[in-house]
Structure 1
C-alpha cells in the first residue's frame, strides 16, 4: 500500500459474526476486543492528525 501512497493502520480487530454479533446483525463485541480497538483507533487518530494539513485548503 505504501507504493501507492496509502497511509495504513497496522493494528486490526478480528471480529466474528458468530461471537460478536447477536443474530448476525446486532453488534455486541466481546470485552476482549477493547485493547485491540483502542490500539487501532490510536493509530487512526495519529494518521488523521498527521494528514490534516493535506485536507485543509491552501491559504485557509
Structure 2
C-alpha cells in the first residue's frame, strides 16, 4: 500500500498501480500523506508464531 498526496500527478499513481501497488490518496502534502500512512500501522496487529519441538502452541493463528 502506497500513500500519495493529492498533489502527486495522477500519471505517477497510475504507473505504481500498473505495477500492482495499492495506491491511497491522502493529504495535500507529502507530510500529510506520511501521517495518514502511519495511522493504519498503529492499529495493525502482527502475530508471530514459533513452534517449539515437543510443546503445543496455544492460540496460534497458523494452526
Q: Structure 2 length as normaliser, TM-score?
A: 0.34
Choose between structure 1 and 2: higher helix proportion: 1
Say which one has the larger Rg.
Answer: 2
Q: Structure 1 length as normaliser, TM-score?
A: 0.35
